[in-house]
Each structure stands twice: as C-alpha cells, then as structure tokens.
Amino acid sequence: MKAHPNEHLIHDDCRVEIEIVQKAFEMIDGMNVLVIDNDTNEVILDEWEPDFEWAWETAKYYSKKYNLEIVDTIPY
C-alpha cells in the first residue's frame, strides 16, 4: 500500500472523521475519511472511499497507526 502524500504531516494532536459525500438530490456518493489537525482544524488528509465499510477500515488504519481518535460525524 502506497502512503498518502500528506501522511508525514499527521501528528498526535489530530483526529479522524468520516463524512458522507452527497451528490445532487442528497444521493450518497461514498464517504470521505479526513485526518484533521485539532489545533487549526486544517484537513491534513482526505481520502474518498466507496462505502462505509471501506471508510471504517481506512479510519481504523490511521487511528491505530497514529493513535488518533475517530470522531463520528455521520447523521443516523
């Protein structure tokens, strides 16, 4: 697996978020996995995944590798 070009910018004070990507008429078009700096709220990494299962696996990868919290922002 090739590393994301911004992965070297991830540090201890970041969080992982999963958000829904919506197209017109509120149709779901996949999920974004974001690594966000807690101090600046800057998005360090943004990866698109086709569905929640892939997004969850990607979020867990970054969470475990960098010891980051996963924040659930998905409305149920």
Q: Which pTM value belongs to this model? A: 0.85
Q: Are strands 69-72 and 43-49 parallel, antiparallel or unpaired?
A: unpaired
- CA–CA gap between residue 6 and residue 17 (Å, rounded): 16
pLDDT in tens, 26-51: 776 889 999 999 999 999 999 999 99
- The confidence score (pLDDT) of residue 6 equals 87
How confident is the model at residue 21, as a pLDDT?
Answer: 85
Q: Fill in the DSSP letter of residue 42.
A: -
Q: Are 65 and 42 in contact (CB under 8 A)?
A: no
Looking at residue 1, what is its pLDDT?
58
Please check whether residue 45 is in contact with residue 10, taking contact to mean a CB–CB distance below 8 angstroms: yes
CA distance 47 to 58: 8
